[in-house]
Chain A
């Protein structure tokens, strides 16, 4: 059970959160301008590194805010990215 630091509510059990996958994958500014392949890349392709990984979490059982942390996928060490 990870202990995830919500920037607003403080550290809470993982069970209170929904995972949002890789962070910093922005919705394309003009989707219509993308090729099918580029669009598919936005929709379906994500990194899966061994080591530090920026990822999004939503505190669904708490303040409902989305935020970003860096989690080391080998140790589960978590560093906040979003600040208040």
Chain B
């Protein structure tokens, strides 16, 4: 379809309205409208135009304003669409303060063969592999297949190239288990043939962009080659353009990028790409002023023009220059195979003198299986590329991972194509001509010889770097920023290496390139975030009673991934008032807490007791069936890891609870010891965290509440003593009731099947005498009793003894995990930080958690000796004042001492107290 037959689209650039055509990129449409200056360079503020025609372009970086602001996008890759608004940039762009309304997602894919690039080589390889029965994915970043064929108009096998490509793609997608991903850039090549691609599905698609995570049996890279620039004075002026880009604008888009063109070429490519470009431009009506061929000694020494090219200076260094009028200068400095993904995969590059470029060398080791074909390894003829595609995917070259063996494996496309061997020798005429490449045009002043147009890096900058003594291309890159822009050095990388090599007088092959890293093209954070945003950002775990908490206006806190009610404010209450009220209810009447989030692990087997003896610091095997024991686990380094209760259900059957956040870690910990150190122990661990919903009923009134709900249960303290459990019915629901307290009050934990959690909650509240309380009140109540919260009052450097819990460490057991570490001199130091209570002298002052504790009433000059820090701090209804827990050096020996906690500019005096501040004799636990 010719340009004039395509749909007209309206867009604006820098606020001015223009029209383009369906199928245009923004760059093509701008050129069609005669807009040549589209950006301003980031450092030097020089005018910049359109230099390339696709992802290699380093200059035409613009801001998209509508439909949604997107900064720093290449105009050469933006598909034009109706209503698009964009504007020119000077380097940095502008992010939108609003959330992006478009949808982004990700998906996984698997294949036997992933082919990257749908040019003649890639299309042939994909079709051939699919015909052999492989599961194939063919990905290409263009909207249509064919690679460079639409740019060059070259024929394939006697058919117009574009027609050939469409036919091949049609045959390919008709085969089973094939996937063709157009507008899809493979941006990263990671370990074990894991590749990441970004598909741009368009503004009208439900999902604007999609990340593909592809695990491939084998990867065939047919990524083509980029034409490269030549460094000469003023080579950044709008109107200077890669010859291949100009040819693409004419042939692919039907856009004429200028009126009168000069051509500056070093030769190279298939046939001679620059001469072919000149021929195509001439056919499109562009006047060709002159072709300057470096092989014949011709040089472009500069350009003239204010803001864009008006004339080209042709001559010899130091000699007189001829001025030739032209508004377009096509540049062709040779071709760089696109080796980015091969290098990312761990492949080594080698410098090929025949084409004066880096090509794939030693393939990567490890779990990578990759092959490079076509122009990406320096084969620049179409017939050669087709032959390479065939050879790469012909049995027995196909991997053994091919799932179905026998589909007809016909050799397609071109009977005259050479077999696999000859193609590797077919490097095109550039092979002979490229021996003496031209990287830069000699001059006295190199301050406008640009090597990296996006980063404004010139030959003079590289000279500065090498004069400063830098010898490594990686160092020069960091010194000058060459190649660090988001074009990833596509046009600048090899040129930079070559100029540095020239300056240092070394061989460019020995100097090498900088490291190739993902992503090959820029990827937005919105794309990477995908659907993991908002409510789906991280799983929200809820209990069976969650809806009831919501109905009661609970304020939630995140505990791990769980949502737990922090407090339940009544109308007019703030957090402080609500928590004080909830605490008072538990201390004076009865409260109810959703405790379902505690981790629960079923431990069973003849050696279950032995396993638990080895993992807990205290003795578990002596626990009687029907009884419950509190236990602490340490890591091998002796530091507290988790705590919880152990319930003995049968001689060989225990139920272990863990802290909410540590449930998975404790199960992993048990399995690790069981599987790797003690496989002889006959014990099995099974997570049952969500099997049970748990309601904690606490307070002096809780016995009466339970008695009313569980008529069959004898609830008096003698029949149902502290730290025992009973199976019964509660509110008509099968339940296991445990007499456990985390508040010091008479308390019960009622466990029922998750399915009945809400029914139990409702039944408890229906008694009308119970106040729901949240985790904040729970924290206050336990802190008043000096019960630590693992992970809040501990930080991985705290032993049980540091918590004042020497009593929980068995002296009788020959060993348990952590025991040896408790015998180290360091863990017996008298000045270790130990858990103490802190009472601010002003009972209304609430200490900040994390506050440092010091010994002096004034701040000495730094470093200030730190005694420890505040781990928990609350306002207590029961104590009628504020209080805190803290880890303080030599804590137990400081009881009654006055210490200080610096807060902003003041030092708050506090008195050290025992960490159990409420009911130290535990008179309240039986009600």
The chain A residues found within 8 Å of chain B, CB to CB, are 1-3, 13, 18, 20, 26-27, 31-32, 34, 36, 39, 42-43, 56, 58, 60, 64-66, 72, 74-78
In the complex with contacts A1-B191, A66-B672, A77-B823 CB distance below 8 A: no
Interface residues as binary, B158-196 with A (CB distance below 8 Å gives 1, 0 otherwise): 000000000000000000000000000000001111100
Question: B821 near A: Cβ within 8 Å?
Answer: yes
Q: Complex Cα distance A26/B193, Å?
A: 34
Min Cβ gap B62→A in Å is: 34
Contact of B824 among A3, A18, A36, A74 (CB under 8 A): A36
Cross-chain pair count, CB within 8 angstroms:
68
Q: Number of B residues contacting the other chain (C-beta, 8 Å)? A: 30
Residue of B nearest to A32 (CB): B820
Contact of B820 among A13, A26, A34, A58 (CB under 8 A): A34
Across the interface, do B824 and A75 meet the contact criterion of CB distance under 8 Å? Answer: no
The chain B residues found within 8 Å of chain A, CB to CB, are 190-194, 213, 215, 346, 364-367, 636-637, 664, 667-668, 671-672, 675-677, 814-815, 819-821, 823-825
Q: Complex Cα distance A2/B194, Å?
A: 8
Across the interface, do B191 and A56 meet the contact criterion of CB distance under 8 Å? Answer: no
Across the interface, do B366 and A72 meet the contact criterion of CB distance under 8 Å? Answer: yes
Q: Complex Cα distance A65/B677, Å?
A: 13
Across the interface, do B677 and A26 meet the contact criterion of CB distance under 8 Å? Answer: yes
Across the interface, do A76 and B824 meet the contact criterion of CB distance under 8 Å? Answer: no
In the complex with contacts A18-B668, A36-B825, A56-B676, A31-B820 CB distance below 8 A: yes
Residue of B nearest to A64 (CB): B671
Q: Complex Cα distance A14/B491, Å?
A: 35
Contact of B367 among A3, A13, A26, A31 (CB under 8 A): A3
Instruction: Return 21 A-B CB contacts under 8 Å, by A number.
Output: A1-B190, A2-B192, A3-B193, A3-B215, A27-B636, A31-B819, A31-B820, A32-B815, A32-B819, A32-B820, A32-B823, A36-B824, A39-B820, A39-B824, A64-B667, A65-B675, A66-B672, A66-B675, A72-B365, A75-B366, A76-B367
| Closest CB pairs A-B (n = 5) | A75-B366, A31-B820, A3-B192, A77-B366, A75-B365
Min Cβ gap B596→A in Å is: 23
Q: Which residues of A lie under 8 Å from residue B346 when comparing CB positions? A: 75
In the complex with contacts A3-B192, A31-B819, A77-B365 CB distance below 8 A: yes
Q: Which residues of B lie under 8 Å from residue A18 when comparing CB positions? A: 668
Contact of A58 among B671, B819, B825 (CB under 8 A): B671
Q: Which residues of A lie under 8 Å from residue B671 when comparing CB positions? A: 58, 64, 66
Q: Complex Cα distance A78/B366, Å?
A: 7
Across the interface, do B668 and A58 meet the contact criterion of CB distance under 8 Å? Answer: yes
Across the interface, do B821 and A2 meet the contact criterion of CB distance under 8 Å? Answer: no
Across the interface, do B637 and A20 meet the contact criterion of CB distance under 8 Å? Answer: no
Residue of A nearest to B366 (CB): A75
Q: Which residues of B lie under 8 Å from residue A56 when comparing CB positions? A: 676
Q: Complex Cα distance A76/B367, Å?
A: 7
Q: Which residues of B lie under 8 Å from residue A58 when comparing CB positions? A: 668, 671-672
Q: Complex Cα distance A18/B675, Å?
A: 15
In the complex with contacts A31-B820, A58-B672, A2-B191 CB distance below 8 A: yes
Min Cβ gap A74→B in Å is: 8
Q: Complex Cα distance A65/B159, Å?
A: 58
Q: Which residues of B lie under 8 Å from residue A78 when comparing CB positions? A: 367
Q: Which residues of B lie under 8 Å from residue A2 when comparing CB positions? A: 191-192, 367
Across the interface, do A27 and B190 meet the contact criterion of CB distance under 8 Å? Answer: no
Q: Which residues of A lie under 8 Å from residue B637 when comparing CB positions? A: 43
Residue of A nearest to B819 (CB): A31
Residue of A nearest to B676 (CB): A66
Q: Which residues of A lie under 8 Å from residue B667 when comparing CB positions? A: 64
Q: Which residues of A lie under 8 Å from residue B675 when comparing CB positions? A: 65-66
Residue of A nearest to B196 (CB): A1
Across the interface, do B367 and A77 meet the contact criterion of CB distance under 8 Å? Answer: yes
Residue of A nearest to B685 (CB): A64
Residue of B nearest to A28 (CB): B820
Across the interface, do A3 and B821 meet the contact criterion of CB distance under 8 Å? Answer: no
Q: Complex Cα distance A56/B192, Å?
A: 19
Q: Which residues of B lie under 8 Å from residue A65 when comparing CB positions? A: 675
Min Cβ gap A4→B in Å is: 9
Q: Complex Cα distance A34/B671, Å?
A: 26
- Residue picked from A26, A31, A34, A39, most chain B C-beta under 10 Å: A31
Across the interface, do A1 and B825 meet the contact criterion of CB distance under 8 Å? Answer: no
Across the interface, do B677 and A27 meet the contact criterion of CB distance under 8 Å? Answer: yes
Q: Complex Cα distance A3/B190, Å?
A: 10
Min Cβ gap A5→B in Å is: 10
Knowing that A66-B676, A72-B365, A75-B364 are A-B contacts, what are 6 other residue pairs whose CB atoms are under 8 Å apart, sorted by A's residue number?
A: A1-B194, A3-B193, A39-B820, A64-B667, A66-B671, A75-B365
In the complex with contacts A1-B194, A2-B191, A76-B677 CB distance below 8 A: no
Q: Complex Cα distance A36/B213, Å?
A: 48
Contact of B366 among A39, A43, A64, A76 (CB under 8 A): A76
Residue of A nearest to B672 (CB): A66
Q: Complex Cα distance A3/B110, Å?
A: 13
Across the interface, do B191 and A76 meet the contact criterion of CB distance under 8 Å? Answer: yes
Min Cβ gap A75→B in Å is: 3
Across the interface, do B821 and A39 meet the contact criterion of CB distance under 8 Å? Answer: yes
Min Cβ gap A28→B in Å is: 8
Residue of B nearest to A3 (CB): B192
Across the interface, do A31 and B668 meet the contact criterion of CB distance under 8 Å? Answer: no
Q: Complex Cα distance A60/B820, Å?
A: 28
Across the interface, do A3 and B668 meet the contact criterion of CB distance under 8 Å? Answer: no
Q: Complex Cα distance A43/B820, Å?
A: 11
